[in-house]
Structure 1
Amino acid sequence: MTRRLGNSAAASDVVQDTFLRVYATSANAEIASPAAYLFRVADNLAIDHMRQEAARARVIAADPDQEDVPSREASPERALDYKQRLEVLNAAIAELPPKCREVFLLHKYDGLSHSEIGERLGITRSMVEKHVMKALAHFRDRLAGLLD
Structure 2
Amino acid sequence: MKNAKPLFENTYEKTVFSKLHERYAKDLHDFIYYKFGEQYNPKDKVQEAFMRLWENCKKISPEKAKSYLFSVANNTTLNTIKHRKVVLKYESNASKNNSNIQDPQFLLEEKEYLNKYQKALSNLTEEKRVAFMLNRVEGKKHKEIAELLGISRKAVEKRIYSALKQLRRDIDGI
Q: Choose which of 114, 124, 130 in structure 2 pairs with 1:96.
A: 124
Report the identity percentage: 27
Within 2, Cα distance between the matches of 1:128 and 1:99?
A: 9
Partner of residue 142, structure 1: 170
Cα 1:53–1:95 shift into 2, 3 Å: farther
Partner of residue 88, structure 2: 56
Counterparts of 1:62-141 in structure 2, within 5 Å, are 72-74=98-100, 75-141=103-169
Amino acid at match of 2:109: D
Question: What SS does the aligned partner of 2:154 have?
Answer: helix
Deviations for 1:106-137, whole angstroms, at most 9, x for unmatched residues?
00000000000000010100000000011010
Note the residue ranges of structure 1 that are not aligned, 5 or more in a row. 1-50, 61-68
Amino acid at match of 1:56: L
Cα 1:120–1:84 shift into 2, 3 Å: same
Partner of residue 43, structure 1: none
Cα 1:72–1:127 shift into 2, 3 Å: same
Within 1, Cα distance between the matches of 2:152 and 2:84?
A: 44
Within 2, Cα distance between the matches of 1:71 and 1:117?
A: 34
Note the residue ranges of structure 2 that are not aligned, 5 or more in a row. 1-82
Deviation, 1:140, is 1.4
Q: Which runs of 4+ in 1 moved over 4 A?
A: 51-54, 57-60
Within 2, Cα distance between the matches of 1:53 and 1:84?
A: 36
Partner of residue 21, structure 1: none
Q: TM-score, normalised by structure 1?
A: 0.52
- Structure with bigger gyration radius: 2
Amino acid at match of 1:134: S
Question: What SS does the aligned partner of 2:170 have?
Answer: helix
Question: What SS does the aligned partner of 2:156 have?
Answer: helix
How many residues are paired up? Answer: 88
Amino acid at match of 1:73: S
